[in-house]
Structure 1
Amino acid sequence: MGRPKQFDPDTAVEQAMEVFWRKGYAGTTPQDLVDALGIGKGSLYNAFGSKHALFEQALRRYRDSQAVILLEMLEEPGPVKARLRKALEFLAELDLAAPDRRGCLAVNVAAELARTDETAAELVRRMFDRTEDAFRALIKEGQRTGEISPGRDPVALGSLLLNTAMGLRLMARIAEGSDRLVRVIDATVDSL
């Protein structure tokens, strides 16, 4: 009879997500994961197969937990432009308040691995698609309510808003304050 697992795999994936988010994929060693998860290397590989397999699970966990926050904010009741402003301000404040300025895991993965890791690139691509779809739906809602001109292309605006959100996440990693981010948010909302 085998020994029972001494750790919770869900908790381990959450902890691994934090390590990958902080250090990047290449910067994370198996020893970093062992230390963070509090398990032996054998248990790590028995439970998850490989560092990359654990990374994929961690990226999915990010998608299912962290990335959904923005989507929920966009679906709240109220004026469309106010919701958009609130969501973009939330992203900027979240990143500026983080002591390690780690930004968005999906953006970080896109920058680090998009050209070399098709699985990671596809996971991030789907996250970005989902966010862009939410922005497009928000634009269409704003067009129905009269907040946004019906002559504007919701597909193009959805792409613009995705690019703005991802750019904010990246800029916040090095920003000395919120001034530039606030200007971007103001210009983006005002342009609609």
Structure 2
Amino acid sequence: MARPRGFDPEHVVEAAMDVFWVGGYAATSTQDLCHGTGLARSSLYNTYKSKRELYEQALRRYAERTRTEQAELLAQDGPVREVIRGFLLRAVDAQLADPARRGCLALNAAVEVGAADEAVADLTRTDFDAIVATMKALIERGQRTGEIAPDRDAEALARLVHAALTGIHVVGRVAEDRTRLTHIVDALIDSL
């Protein structure tokens, strides 16, 4: 009879997500994952089979987290431009408050691994497409309320918001202060 697990697999995936988020995929060793999750090497591999499998699960967990944030965003009342601005400013503040300046795990995965790994590319594309869909829904709401011109292409504007978010994550890794990042946000909001 198999021995029951003495750990919560969900907690392990969360912990592994944080380890990969700081170190990336290639630079994260099995020892790093053991240290970060609190598991022995044998438990780690008996449960997750490989570092690669655990990485995919971490990316899926990150996507779940961002989907929850997006659902909350769609539920917000108020002017759409302010909702989008608040979303982007929260990304600015989170980036600057993070001592490791980790950015976005999905973006990091797309840059580091995505071109060489179709499964990771699919996961990151799905994550990016979900953000675009959320922004498109908000922009269409703004078009219905008259905040945003109805003749503008909502999909293109949503992709522009995502591009600004991507810029925040990249520039935020080296920004010395909030000003450069808030300029990105303000220019984007003005363009809507």
TM-score range, shorter chain: over 0.9
Q: Shift of residue 191 of structure 1?
A: 1.1
Residue 177 of structure 1 is matched in structure 2 by 177
Structure 1: state its 5+ residue gaps.
Answer: none
The alignment yields a C-alpha RMSD, in angstroms, of: 1.2
The farther-off stretch of 64-73 and 1-10 is 64-73
> C-alpha offsets along residues 34-54 of structure 1, whole Å, 9 cap, x if unaligned?
111222211111101110001
Distance 2:2 2:154 in 1: 56
Letter of the structure 2 residue corresponding to residue 188 of structure 1: L
Shift of 1:75: 3.3
* Paired positions, count: 192
The Cα offsets for residues 90-139 of structure 1, whole Å up to 9 and x where unpaired, read as 00111011111111101111110111111111001000001001111111
Q: Secondary structure at the match of 1:7?
A: coil
TM-score of the pair, normalised by structure 2: 0.96
Write the mapping of 1:1-150 to structure 2, written as runs, cut at 5 A.
1-66=1-66, 68-150=68-150
> Are residues 67 and 96 of structure 1, via their aligned partners in 2, closer, same or farther at CA, if it must alter by over 3 Å?
farther
- Amino acid across the alignment from 1:168: I
Conserved? CA contact 1:71–1:131, under 8 Å: no
Structure 1 position 29, deviation (Å): 0.6
8 Å Cα contact 1:12-1:37 kept in structure 2:
yes
Q: Which runs of 4+ in 1 moved over 3 A?
A: none
Provide Cα deviations, 1:28-82, integer angstroms capped at 9, x if missing partner: 1111111112222111111011100011111101111145324522431111011
| Cα distance, 1:91–1:175 mapped onto 2, change above 3 Å | same
Unaligned runs of at least 5 residues, structure 2: none
Q: Which residue of 2 aligns with 1:164?
A: 164
Counterpart CA distance in 1 for 2:165 and 2:71 is 12
Report if aligned partners of 2:136, 2:155 keep a CA contact under 8 Å in 1: yes
